[in-house]
Structure 1
Amino acid sequence: MSLADKVLAVNNDLPIRTDSAVHSGKVRSVYWLTDEDSRRLIKEKGYDVSEDTPLAIMVISDRISAFDCIWQGEGGMKGVPGKGAALNAISNHWFKLFKENGLADSHILDIPHPFVWIVQKAKPVMIEAICRQYITGSMWRSYTKGERDFCGIALPEGLEKDSKLPELLQTPSTKGILEGIPGVPAVDDVNITRKNIEDNYQAFNFKSLEDISLYEKLLTEGFDVISDALAKLDQIFVDTKFEFGYVKGRDGKDKLIYMDEVGTPDSSRIWDGEQYRAGKVVENSKEGFRQLLLNHFPDPDILLNKDRMAEREALARDNELPESVLMEVSNTYTAIAEKITGEKITLSDNPKAEIISILREQYQLID
């Protein structure tokens, strides 16, 4: 069996019973269960949700996206071995820690397989909740061009690349393209201020003004929980993106929860502490892959300039990366996952067959 066979690249073709179209993102695919199956599982499994909550099966893949494109390798490698299992394992670990620390719930109700979550339907808050403890990446690039105002926060002069910021900063951006919000351009991923959110809180799907403070509190608390845990492993939590949404509790009331993924190498930068103290940044996150792409192609502006998206998509489509590159990324993901969770990430020989078997036999979701 080749390494490419162990990669789960296509995850939107599973024969899961559903009345809706499968929604596929860059990495995960979502299968909304029938109303009948949702109610049956809530009853059978005792999930802590109201009996009419819609449920979905969320299947992660080993695909790798960077700069809004999906990348592939030679020899039919359509993803990174071990990446999906590593991402899920890390998120599962942090969500469990959040619960133990009395923070909010997540959308995950059950974990049938390392690639699979059973989730409850949440109404997403239309904000990429970004937290930064160090100045690097896009913030540093903007800072070098003279920008000092980030999401309404003024940064001091004289900051150095990759240095610790004077305080933990929240620099939110829009999730998706939001139309008709005064002062907020209708483009994806645009920086916004707290005032933008306050003045238009309903457009961002907040139920109340007070919930803006709640999301900020949950963001800081979640960041601190992960940062403290990583520090014990001599890893630095540099910055991250959280997502939030609303679900209805058993009592029928709305509650704000964490959703998507948290503290993973896809959504965060994690640096090795020992190397950082020696003056060197070693990435234990997808940032290493981004840097590799920037160095790999002769014109990195294609990857950084949103106006050159067509060229960028062609670059990703027409270039197979060396297998060694994808295996380097695989080692980064599995090593940090094993460090965080204390458990080995094992590559499945046929992840799709395993998922189908479990969802058929233990959950009766496949005919």
Structure 2
Amino acid sequence: MIDPQTLIAAIPGCLAQTDVPTGTKYTGKVRDTYDLNDGRLLLITTDRQSGFDRLLGAIPYKGQVLNRTSLWWFERTQHIVPNHVLASSHANALLGRKCTVLPIEFVVRGYLTGSTDTSIWTKYQNGERSFATITLPDGMKKNQPLPQNIVTPTTKETTHDRPITGEEIVSEGWLTAEQWAYCQMKALELFAFGQQEAAKHGLILVDTKYEFGVDSEGTIRLIDEVHTPDSSRYWLADSYEQLVADGKEPHMIDKEFFRLWFRERCDPYADATLPTPPPELIAELAARYIQLFETITGETFAPDPRPLNATIAEALA
């Protein structure tokens, strides 16, 4: 594990943007995607930190941790669903098959939790009881397990993702009935596998999101990222039951505490200017990303020191 002072010292060197001289660039919330115009995409995972549909800053080594975590999961979930990975020449980079992205995010939840306006806990507090295939009773408490894992899909839109039902997905033409049924099934299988693997390492995989795309041959593939601390919520298993019984938050190993810091100090959806998190908080989030990578993979994280552009150019050549 990298010590906090080293992480603080690394903040000015965060990879906040890229300028790889190849292909056509598209800038996302965290990833910069380069279309190589030959059926392949080059995805660069930066250190940008997003939340509440806006940029919250940059976290040291986050991009490398996310990409390497995804690669680890992609390799181990090929028996469930094919994915888009072709190769990785740098810890920040992934070369993948170009796919037509299905415009739905498959959010899978196993617990009644969350802090955002779209979280299942916020909606439950506001009186909602029906979620996907289940109806929850009154009197449930935050962070309790759901009766079963559920898929709560959202649309992928430019301004703000919109919760949507499976029936609406098909009737509004977002996906065919066959695509919806297949992706929902695979999302639940991936999540169950992720929970089993996480449990082996003393972790609880609480919720996550998956994205799928269709390649040139019509095959649906898992794309984007898998079970990273950016796309998923993890808790430490050994202290979970006692903390929840005491009405406290489980020990988190994800970015939720970082989001809560903003929620306690501003309205992150409405305020034009957000507070600047202290270096110690940024270093703590970086440490948690690294801790999760090392806990899940059993590997020791070491930053990739190679220059990004030169390494990628050499690999593509």
Give 1:244's match in structure 2, choosing from 197, 212, 227. Answer: 212
* 2:90–2:304 Cα contact (<8 Å) kept: no
AA matched with 2:98 = K
Question: How much does 1:348 deviate?
Answer: 4.2
Aligned AA (1:190): R
> 1:198: which partner in 2?
170
Matched AA of 2:151? Q
Give yes or no for contact 1:235–1:271 (8 Å, CA) kept in 2: yes
Q: Which residue of 2 aligns with 1:32?
A: 35
Q: Contact 2:207–2:233 at 8 Å: present in 1 too?
A: yes
CA 1:151–1:141: 2 relative to 1, 3 Å: same
Q: 1:284 aligns with which of 233, 238, 253?
A: 253
Deviation per CA, 1:315-363, whole angstroms, max 9, x where unpaired? 1xxx4321111000000000001111111222345x5xx2222222232
Q: 5+ unaligned residues in a row in structure 2: which ranges?
A: 1-5, 244-248
Aligned-partner Cα distance in 1 for 2:12–2:258: 22
Q: Deviations over 1:52-97 (max 9, x none)?
A: xx1121111111111122123xxxxxx2112111111111111111
Q: Deviations over 1:269-327 (max 9, x none)?
A: 100001202215011111121112223x1x4xx12xx4x2xx2x421xxx432111100
User: Given that residues 62 and 82 in structure 1 are in contact (C-alpha distance below 8 angstroms), is that contact kept between their aligned partners in structure 2?
Assistant: yes
Q: Distance in 2 between matches of 1:362 and 1:347?
A: 19
CA RMSD of aligned residues (A): 1.9
Choose which of 229, 234, 251 in structure 2 pairs with 1:265.
229
Runs of 4+ with >3 A deviation: none
Equivalent in the alignment of 1:211 = 179
Which of 297, 300, 303 lines up with 1:344 in the alignment?
300
Alignment of 1:227-238 (within 5 A): 227-238=195-206
Q: Is the 8 A contact 2:235 2:252 kept in 1?
A: yes
Query: Is 1:10 the equivalent of 2:17?
Result: yes
Q: Deviations over 1:119-153 (max 9, x none)?
A: 11111111110111100012111111211123474
Query: Which runs of structure 2 are paired with 1:141-160 in the superposition (5 Å)?
Result: 141-151=122-132, 153-160=134-141
Residue pair 1:6, 1:348 contacting (<8 A) in 2 also = no
1:131 is matched with 108
Secondary structure in 2 matching 1:262: coil
* Equivalences for residues 13-92 of structure 1 within 5 A: 13-15=19-21, 17-18=22-23, 20=24, 22-34=25-37, 38=38, 54-72=39-57, 79-92=58-71
Kindly indicate whether residue 95 of structure 2 is the aligned counterpart of residue 118 of structure 1.
yes
Question: 1:156: Cα distance to partner?
Answer: 2.1
Instruction: Tell me the secondary structure at the aligned position of residue 77 of structure 2.
Output: helix
State the TM-score, normalized to the length of structure 1: 0.78
Q: Is the 8 A contact 2:204 2:234 kept in 1?
A: yes
Give the secondary structure class of the aligned counterpart of 2:89.
Answer: strand
CA distance in 2, matches of 1:338, 1:292: 25
The alpha-carbon deviation at position 5 of structure 1 amounts to: 4.7
Q: Which of 1 and 2 has greater Rg?
A: 1
CA–CA separation in structure 1 for the residues paired with 2:55 and 2:64 = 18
Contact 2:109 2:149 in 1 (8 A): yes
Q: Distance in 2 between matches of 1:5 and 1:357?
A: 21
Equivalent residue number for residue 148 of structure 2:
167
One of 285, 310, 313 as aligned partner of 1:357: 310
Give unmatched runs, 5+ long, in structure 1: 39-53, 73-78, 178-186
Q: Is the 8 A contact 1:98 1:222 kept in 2?
A: yes
Q: Distance in 2 between matches of 1:5 and 1:136?
A: 34
1:157–1:324 distance in 2 versus 1, CA, 3 Å: same
The equivalent of 2:3 in structure 1 is none
Q: How far has the Cα of 1:104 moved from its partner? A: 1.4
Please state whether the residue corresponding to 2:238 is helix, strand or coil: helix
